[in-house]
Structures are given as structure tokens and as C-alpha cells.
């Protein structure tokens, strides 16, 4: 399983774009050991060491999720196959290895 540190790969900021609508769904900013996740209407800070889970949908993609002391009930980060664009304009499609649950950007 991956963490936010794995997702950000030494980048300091990123935007997640919905693969279906093309709209921005999250803005991410690394501040020290905290990742600020701006969901457009709400914002939360979580540890970079927080594990990112994967909730597979039936016969479809799945959701990348996380839980922390700030949101113990869990929260959705994005959907598998959304796009991530880092501050240096690199990035790609967010995919999950369905065996290891590791995140890859293709």
C-alpha cells in the first residue's frame, strides 16, 4: 500500500483532475510533513505517512481513500484513473496495482 509521500514523489504541489468531467477535484500542497488536501469546498491536513487505501467498485474503477485522526470515518481522495498534475506539469493517470494496492502514475 502507498502513502501520500509515495504519491507526491518529492513534489510540493499537485492538482487532481476528474477523468470523466475534466474538472479539478483536489488541490494538494506539501507543507513540511503534512499534505494539505483542498477539496474545493473543504480543506484538511494529513500526515505524509498516511496510508492510501483502495475501495474497488463492482465491475468498475475504485476510490482511493484514507483515514486519519482528522477524519477517522475515512475520506475519498479521488477515483482510480483520475489525472494528477504536479507543480512542474509532470504527472499522468492514477492507477492501482490490484495485487499490492500500490499507486502508479502512468
Q: Quick: pLDDT tens for 3-25.
A: 999 999 999 999 999 999 999 99
What is the pTM (predicted TM-score) of this model? Answer: 0.92
In 3-state terms, what secondary structure has residue 60?
Answer: coil
Q: Indicate the SS3 state at residue 4.
A: helix
Is-contact 47 55, C-beta < 8 A?
no
The 10s digit of each residue's pLDDT in 18-47 is: 999 999 999 999 999 999 999 988 999 999
Domain span at residue 42? 2-105
Domain count, the chain: 1
Amino acid at each position: 500500500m502507498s502513502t501520500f509521500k509515495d504519491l507526491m514523489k518529492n513534489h510540493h504541489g499537485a492538482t487532481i483532475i476528474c477523468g470523466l468531467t475534466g474538472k479539478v477535484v483536489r488541490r494538494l500542497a506539501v507543507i513540511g510533513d503534512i499534505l494539505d488536501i483542498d477539496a474545493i469546498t473543504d480543506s484538511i491536513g494529513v500526515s505524509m505517512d498516511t496510508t492510501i487505501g483502495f475501495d474497488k467498485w463492482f465491475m468498475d474503477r475504485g476510490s482511493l481513500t484514507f483515514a486519519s485522526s482528522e477524519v477517522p470515518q475515512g475520506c475519498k481522495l479521488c477515483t482510480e484513473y483520475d489525472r494528477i498534475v504536479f507543480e512542474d506539469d509532470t504527472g499522468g493517470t492514477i492507477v492501482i496495482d490490484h495485487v499490492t494496492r500500490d499507486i502508479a502514475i502512468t
